[in-house]
């Protein structure tokens, strides 16, 4: 059955604020937009405000300041059922006494949809999530992945303008979680569904998002395409939260309009000058492990001499830690390295060209 494109619309959150009892500011002046048909992920550690932000959009919490627009409608003060949203909860929230079919049909029945239309819509939704044939099972007879599909079908059967997902994969094992995130992204793309997705898993956010909104202590730390947050993090927090990285201290030698001459552990080089750099004498610079290269000798391009302290074989890659002076540098070698390394070996290493990036403290 061909899946119709949903009547998706954009979402705009303007200066949203939520203050809980005791003066706890859970969401502090948060603004972002979601274009129609895009998937935006709210990412961050526990307590950062991402789930509260989603609940504000869903209407499950009331804002203490700000406004919410879904399409061209101001829905700030509308109840959840009038906002045109579908939601998948972390716990799935399936009714244990109802069958799969009855769970999916529940929202349509509450909306007094015609019975023949309910049957058509439920069949479409179950086909969409590959649950045809399981209509009469109870939730207790389903695997975690199947329960997640039922929850997704129940949200999609209402043909929502906006789909909200609150850590929908957190209860699944790692392998199933990866498979399901790929299914969700494929389905979202097929339906052109405007989607806001909450997770604390950075790899999940990088894999499925058009835009990532990284939150910390109730505010947005950085917002942009996944590759921007990974390759050009705005701060030390972003660099540390989104993937593994090496933090290096750079001594500023000279400044130009668009570049900085710096010394990193005794090696002089030039890096792009970010707008926030003024008269600092030292700055933090990052280099991702996969951009750090191990050489056989200094003349081959290595910057620093060090000793291999850790080797972890991961199949497709080998993770390596090299101690340079008192600094531990992580390297990631993909495939079979040309030179077989052993713990205790002396090596030369250095970053790939243009892989160094300055970050705010």
CB 293 within 8 A of CB 349: yes
Estimate the crossing angle of helix 144-156 against helix 115-128, to 10 degrees: 130
Comma-separated ranges of CATH 2.40.50.140 domains in the chain: 244-358
The pLDDT of 341-354, averaged and rounded, is 92
| pLDDT for position 197 | 98
Separation between Cα atoms, residue 107 and residue 102, nearest integer Å? 9
Complete DSSP assignment for 96-126: TTS-HHHHHHHHHHHTT--HHHHHHHHHHHH
User: Could you tell me which residues come within 8 angstroms of residue 241 by beta carbon, excluding any fewer than 6 positions away?
Assistant: 43, 44, 45, 202, 214
CA dihedral (90, 94, 95, 97) in degrees, to 10, reads -120
Q: Which CATH superfamily is domain 244-358 in?
A: Nucleic acid-binding proteins (2.40.50.140)
| pLDDT for position 301 | 72
CB 209 within 8 A of CB 41: yes
Pairing of strands 194-199, 39-43: parallel
Note the pLDDT tens digit of each residue in 5-25.
677 899 999 999 999 999 999
Comma-separated ranges of CATH 3.40.50.300 domains in the chain: 11-236
Partners of residue 212 on adjacent β-strands: 41, 224
Separation between Cα atoms, residue 205 and residue 182, nearest integer Å? 11
Q: Which CATH superfamily is domain 11-236 in?
A: P-loop containing nucleotide triphosphate hydrolases (3.40.50.300)
Note the pLDDT tens digit of each residue in 207-258.
999 999 999 999 999 999 999 999 999 999 999 999 999 999 999 999 998 9
Note the pLDDT tens digit of each residue in 149-185.
999 999 999 999 999 999 998 888 888 889 999 999 9
The pTM assigned to this predicted structure is 0.91
CA dihedral (16, 242, 180, 81) in degrees, to 10, reads 0
Note the pLDDT tens digit of each residue in 288-314.
999 999 987 666 778 999 999 999 988
Q: What is the mean pLDDT of the chain?
A: 93
| pLDDT for position 92 | 81
């Amino acid at each position: 059955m061909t899946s119709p494109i949903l009547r998706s619309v954009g979402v705009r959150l303007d200066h949203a604020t939520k203050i809980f009892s005791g003066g706890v500011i859970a969401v502090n002046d948060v603004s972002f937009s979601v274009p129609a048909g895009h998937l935006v992920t709210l990412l961050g550690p526990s307590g950062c405000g991402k789930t509260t932000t989603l609940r504000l959009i869903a209407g499950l919490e009331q804002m203490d300041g700000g406004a919410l627009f879904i399409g061209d409608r101001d829905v700030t003060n509308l109840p959840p059922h009038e906002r045109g949203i579908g939601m998948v909860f972390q716990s799935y929230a399936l009714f244990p006494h109802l069958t799969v079919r009855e769970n999916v049909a529940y929202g349509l029945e509450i909306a007094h949809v015609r019975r023949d239309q309910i049957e058509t819509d439920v069949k479409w939704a179950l086909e969409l999530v590959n649950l045809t044939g399981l209509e009469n099972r109870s939730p207790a007879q389903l695997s975690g992945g199947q329960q997640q599909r039922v929850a997704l079908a129940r949200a999609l059967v209402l043909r929502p303008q906006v789909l909200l997902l609150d850590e929908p994969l957190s209860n699944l094992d790692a392998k199933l979680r990866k498979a399901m995130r790929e299914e969700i992204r494929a389905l979202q793309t097929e339906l052109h569904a405007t989607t806001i997705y909450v997770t604390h898993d950075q790899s999940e956010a990088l894999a499925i998002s058009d835009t990532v909104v990284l939150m910390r202590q109730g505010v947005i730390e950085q917002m942009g395409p996944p590759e921007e947050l990974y390759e050009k993090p705005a701060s030390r927090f972003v660099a540390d939260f989104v993937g593994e990285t090496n933090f290096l201290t750079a001594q500023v030698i000279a400044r130009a309009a668009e570049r900085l001459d710096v010394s990193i552990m005794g090696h002089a080089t030039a890096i792009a000058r970010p707008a926030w750099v003024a008269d600092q004498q030292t700055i933090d610079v990052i280099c991702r492990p996969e951009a750090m290269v191990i050489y056989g000798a200094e003349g081959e391009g290595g910057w620093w001499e060090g000793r291999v302290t850790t080797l972890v074989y991961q199949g497709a890659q080998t993770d390596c830690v090299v101690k340079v002076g008192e600094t531990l540098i992580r390297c990631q070698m993909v495939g079979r390295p040309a030179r077989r390394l052993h713990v205790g070996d002396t090596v030369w290493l250095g970053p790939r060209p243009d892989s160094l990036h300055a970050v705010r403290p």
